[in-house]
Amino acid sequence: MLKPETFLINLRLILNDFHNPIGEQIWVRENRNFKISPRFITKSVSIDAKKDSEIKNSQRRINMKFKNILICRTDRIGDVLLSTPVISALRKQYPSAAISFLTSRYAAVVLKNNPFLKEIFYIEDNNLLLELKKRKFDLALVLFPEFKVCKTVYLSNIPLRIGPANKWFVPIFLNKPVFQHRSRVEKHEADYNLDLLKPLGIKPEDTETYYVIPEDAKRFVKDWKIKNNISANDRFVIIHPGMKGSALNWPLGYYAELADKLICDKKAKVLLSYGPGEENIIKDLVKLMKETPFVIDKTIDLSLLAGFISEADILFCPSTGILHLAVAVKTRTVSIFSPILVQSKKRWGPYGKGHVVIDPAVNCKEKYKCHKNKCLYYNCMEKITVNTVYDKISGMLKV
């Protein structure tokens, strides 16, 4: 008996309502087989026997000149920053094309100054579908498949729709799936994004992430440094303890001890940074400290935070989008990561050279989440000592 998603695709093909101008095959996973056919799903092929040919087929080059391209990634700030190499690669390949980005209002801030983008669309907008139809996009690149996003690009009548084939609904809405198993953590998230360009024959050479800091943000930070007597010769360290809860974090007391040690022993100028909703974290952290750090007296927007980070010698933080912001503005980082597979540094660490990542020395077998008190090593993040982090930061600071 066909699964519901298989039935839906067959029905759509029968109704001749599947936008597939390039004549690619439709792939549907059913149990441990793929059902394959250019028009109807009739033939079963073993994954083990045909694995290589499936991958080659899904990555076959498409020789088309695109004029209007839509990139889609609607999750968090770090995820969108790790998508910026895709934008620059598409701009290099299609210099005259108009490139737009569909994202969330929350994450859009990291794209607003991007010189390669024509427009930014928001997944929350009620009139999104109408606006996308008006633009007449000829290519949609869905970097991370969410049901609403995939459905929207399908209903927008975009002829070619590329994305990872790792969700059951992808073959219904996208007609050029690329097989990926991101949960296996075989490479970095940015590399998974770039792999989606292979069907277009694009092999990016410059794969750095980037963020363009507005000039007014740069001026604000320089004036702040002058006001607070921080010169170019000072050791300027930013500690950002907050995160959105997507991974394990360090105890707050450890952050306080580290900041005190940097101020006292290294005579560093330490700034505690934070994002919206993290004000109380900083208040609690300051109460735990013996020394006096710098704290901005109001919540600043991301462009100002990027300006501060770009002026720092080192950013220290957990696994958070701010880590990727630091990498994008070319500031060196020291970060701590959970040993859990899907949270690990291999997939979510800083994307580039010159950064230090520390994770606990435990043989963690968990793939998806921490089982806390049920785990033999909990709380493993406490095994990363303050002295270990201090030594790493000290080795990267000015002499």
| CATH label of the domain that carries residue 243 | 3.40.50.2000
DSSP string covering 343-380, please?
GSHHHHS-SSSS-EEE--------SS---GGGSTT-SG
Helix, coil or strand: residue 88: helix
Return the structure tokens found at 98: 């108009």
- pLDDT cut 90: percent of the chain above it: 69
Question: Pick from 146, 167, 200: which residue ends a domain?
Answer: 200
Between β-strands 269-272 and 236-239, what pairing exists: parallel, antiparallel or unpaired?
A: parallel
Number of domains, the chain: 2
pLDDT in tens, 51-64: 444 444 444 556 67
Query: Is the same domain home to 194 and 220?
Result: no
Question: Pick from 200, 224, 244: which residue ends a domain?
Answer: 200
Query: Is the same domain home to 78 and 116?
Result: yes
Between β-strands 43-46 and 33-37, what pairing exists: parallel, antiparallel or unpaired?
A: antiparallel
What range defines the domain where residue 390 resides? Answer: 215-396
Q: Half-sphere exposure of residue 13, counting CA atoms within 13 Å on the CB side?
A: 22
Query: Is the same domain home to 301 and 184?
Result: no
Asked if pLDDT for residue 286 goes beyond 80, the answer is yes
- The residues near 135 (Cβ < 8 Å, ≥ 6 apart) are 68, 70, 100, 119
- Mean pLDDT in residue range 286-310: 92
pLDDT in tens, 103-146: 999 999 999 899 999 999 999 999 999 999 999 999 999 999 99
| Cα 29 to Cα 19, 40, 44, 237, 370, distances in angstroms | 20, 14, 10, 49, 29
Q: Who has greater pLDDT, 247 or 303?
A: 303
Q: Specify the pLDDT at position 71.
A: 98
**Of residues 110, 115, 123, the one with CA closest to residue 99:** 115
Q: How many CB atoms sit inside 10 A of residue 47's CB? A: 13
Beta carbons of 20 and 9 less than 8 angstroms apart: no
pLDDT averaged over the chain?
Answer: 85
Query: Is the same domain home to 314 and 173?
Result: no
259 part of a folded domain:
yes
Query: Is the same domain home to 303 and 386?
Result: yes
Between β-strands 294-295 and 269-272, what pairing exists: parallel, antiparallel or unpaired?
A: parallel
Question: Pick from 173, 200, 227: which residue ends a domain?
Answer: 200
Query: Is the same domain home to 186 and 224?
Result: no
Q: Does the CA dihedral 283-289-290-291 come out positive or negative?
A: negative
Asked if pLDDT for residue 215 goes beyond 80, the answer is yes
Beta carbons of 122 and 108 less than 8 angstroms apart: yes
